[in-house]
Amino acid sequence: ESVKPAHFIRQIISKDLEAGKNGGRVATRFPPEPNGYLHVGHAKSICLNFSMGEEFGGTCNLRFDDTNPEKESQEYIEAIQRDVSWLGFQWNGEIRYASGYFDQLHDFAVELIKQGKAYVDESTPEEIRTMRGSLTEAGQDSPYRSRSVDDNLQQFERMRNGEFADGAAVLRAKIDMASPNINMRDPVLYRVRRAHHHQTGDKWCIYPMYDYTHCVSDALEEITHSLCTLEFEDHRPLYDWVLDQLDVPCHPQQIEFARLNLNYTITSKRKLKQLVDEQHVDGWDDPRMPTIAGLRRRGYTPASIRNFCEMIGVTKSEGVVDMSMLEFSIRDDLDKSAPRAMCVMQPLKVVIENWQQEEQPLSIAAHPKDESLGVREIFFGKELYIDRTDFEEEPPKGFKRLIPGGEVRLRGAYVIRCDEVIKNEQGEVVELRCSYDDQTLGKNPEGRKVKGVVHWVSAAKALPVEVRLYDRLFNHESPDAAKDGSSFLDHINPDSLTVVERAYAEPSLANARADQPYQFEREGYFVLDGVDSSEGKLVFNRTVTLRDAWAK
């Protein structure tokens, strides 16, 4: 068990508990908008919210913040649930929907009108934007600001009944047009929008705004600590104002933390959606995507993502996390847990001339340090494949693998010697004639040292497989914020996918599953692609290389 660092949110919650705040209760929530798939940034928020619930013996709700029906869908709702569960978290009771509170939100809005704290504004959206001013420009009162309570009640009722065209009227809170915080300059609470809602159907033609919905939803669910990202810091006065006006069961404390930014990728659902819609990638779960679905298909484990989130910590200051930290966390997990297997990417045929028998089955440990993972069966025989890069006719200095007349050990099998090099008409090496030393199975040869060990497969028993090698999706450190005014689309790495159409894998991989990563010895970590594999055609995705190829 690692010692969890006492980040500032842990400290706040601990103090609140010591002080007996909220009756000793901790309740958090993760509130995604179902307008896309979750990405690694959301994982940070998920880990934070659910782990605070768990660690303090409390609860964490999963709530869909579904106030923009046109951008949302059931597909996203299901994908989000799948991803949260896969990460290993369990939400408290039923799934919640902000739309489940539409009746209460409406009644609270009527209550605000009755208190003289909200009014119907029939100005155009453009006029309202102008009247709210800017950081340097004061706000101006709307001509509708002084409407009577009765008039407002009537007009709001008309909004609800569909008597205004979309955009023709809004309900605004009456707060302070002179506030230095623009969020407090009479923000919009409700708008008219004739849109079918995935949960409430055609019941409503007015929809509440995020800021109004969020705080009320938190309060109705009796959330104690409402954790959100820093961009909502300026919205906190509004969060508190709304709850101060209303008779709600609880007034949650909003606490902001820095969002996760990862270099060489983007963490914005809108932009990720653009990559999908414009087919720059092969769907939300493309293994190059920083989505949870993409990471899963790529071979990331839930533990690696949770450890990554713990490692990057929770602070108030924005920074950019290096992609190599995410890669470190998956290597760290898989080094310990992934069974080993052999797969030859660039096959070079090796004929063992002094081998006269049938294929010989050999038993080899699935993991060098963990016996509990058992053994696998490989086959030695007359025809083998090794990787083309493991043979050099004219070896550079220090080359420890196979050379003409030289010896190398085949992992888990014998030492072989290269006796003859066969070339085609173009002078390319197409085959090696070798001999094996039958005294070297699991033993060093007598009287000489063989340093190199290479991976290999039996040609007769190998499975032909497709292997997909991924590189970073972007070749710019901050594709989103390049200083030259370029778009993130200008920085897509054209070489982010290399397909090896025919690699040869050891036969034990016939039973590979999409949720069981392997280390392909000397090549990296790989997992079966659960989408494109079929019985006749296995496809493997490279999760990550063995070492950080980007480290200088």
Q: Among 27, 32, 310, 434, indicate the residue that binds ligand ATP (CB under 6 A).
A: 32
Instruction: Say whether 34 counts as a known binding-site residue.
Output: yes
Q: Which is nearer to ligand ATP, 44 or 117 (CB)?
A: 44
Q: Is 44 in the site for ligand ATP (CB under 6 A)?
A: yes
Q: Among 192, 260, 326, 505, indicate the residue that binds ligand ATP (CB under 6 A).
A: 260
* Angle ∠(246,68,247) on CA atoms, nearest 5: 5
* 3-class state of residue 381 by DSSP: coil
Q: Which stretch binds ligand ATP (CB under 6 A): 267-275, 300-308, 366-374, 425-433?
A: 267-275
CB of 268 to ligand ATP, least distance (A): 5
Q: Which is nearer to ligand ATP, 39 or 409 (CB)?
A: 39
Binding track, positions 221-250, relative to ligand ATP; x by CB under 6 A: -------xx---------------------
Name 263's Cβ contacts closer than 8 Å, sequence gap at least 6. 320, 321, 322, 323, 477, 478
Name the packing angle between helices 102-114 and 210-220 (round to 10°): 110
Q: Which stretch binds ligand ATP (CB under 6 A): 38-46, 107-115, 374-382, 429-437?
A: 38-46
28 neighbors 53 (Cβ within 8 angstroms) = yes
Instruction: Say whether 35 counts as a known binding-site residue.
Output: yes
Q: Which is nearer to ligand ATP, 84 or 503 (CB)?
A: 84
- Written as six digits, the tokens of 12 are 């706040």
Q: Among 13, 16, 28, 42, indicate the residue that binds ligand ATP (CB under 6 A).
A: 42
Q: What is the DSSP letter of 467?
A: E
Q: Point out the residues that are catalytic.
A: 33, 259, 269
> For ligand ATP, how many residues bind (rule: CB under 6 A)?
16
Q: Which stretch binds ligand ATP (CB under 6 A): 25-33, 92-100, 151-159, 318-326?
A: 25-33
| CA 173/CA 216 separation, integer angstroms | 14
What is the DSSP pairing of strand 188-192 with strand 170-173? Answer: antiparallel
Instruction: Say whether 67 counts as a known binding-site residue.
Output: no
Q: Is 45 in the site for ligand ATP (CB under 6 A)?
A: yes
The residue with tokens 């000489």 is 448
Distinct helix (H) and strand (E) counts, the chain: 12, 27
- Cross-strand partners of 469: 498
Q: Among 7, 21, 33, 493, indicate the residue that binds ligand ATP (CB under 6 A).
A: 33
Name 93's Cβ contacts closer than 8 Å, sequence gap at least 6. 59, 61
Q: Which is nearer to ligand ATP, 273 or 388 (CB)?
A: 273
Binding track, positions 57-76, relative to ligand ATP; x by CB under 6 A: --------x-----------
Q: Is 291 in the site for ligand ATP (CB under 6 A)?
A: no
| CA 541/CA 499 separation, integer angstroms | 10
Q: Which is nearer to ligand ATP, 274 or 475 (CB)?
A: 274
Contacts with ligand ATP in 173-232 (CB under 6 A)?
228-229
- DSSP character string of 26-78: -EEEE---SSS--BHHHHHHHHHHHHHHHHTT-EEEEEE----GGG--HHHHH
Q: Among 13, 41, 209, 307, indicate the residue that binds ligand ATP (CB under 6 A).
A: 41
CB of 526 to ligand ATP, least distance (A): 28
Instruction: Say whether 210 counts as a known binding-site residue.
Output: yes
CB of 33 to ligand ATP, least distance (A): 4
**What own/partner pairs with CB < 8 Å and gap ≥ 24 does 207-211 have?**
207/67, 207/68, 207/69, 208/67, 208/98, 208/102, 208/105, 208/106, 208/109, 209/67, 210/65, 210/67, 211/183, 211/187, 211/235, 211/238, 211/239, 211/242
Determine the residue type at 499.
V
Instruction: Say whether 212 counts as a known binding-site residue.
Output: no
Name the packing angle between helices 40-55 and 302-312 (round to 10°): 80
217 neighbors 101 (Cβ within 8 angstroms) = yes
Q: Among 130, 179, 268, 516, indicate the residue that binds ligand ATP (CB under 6 A).
A: 268
Name 160's Cβ contacts closer than 8 Å, sequence gap at least 6. 106, 204, 205, 206
| CA 519/CA 365 separation, integer angstroms | 13
| CA 240/CA 28 separation, integer angstroms | 17
Instruction: Say whether 22 counts as a known binding-site residue.
Output: no
CB of 481 to ligand ATP, least distance (A): 14
CB of 31 to ligand ATP, least distance (A): 6
CB of 316 to ligand ATP, least distance (A): 13
CB of 454 to ligand ATP, least distance (A): 42
Q: Is 267 in the site for ligand ATP (CB under 6 A)?
A: yes
Point out which residues bind ligand ATP (CB under 6 A).
31-33, 41-42, 44-45, 65, 228-229, 259-260, 267-270
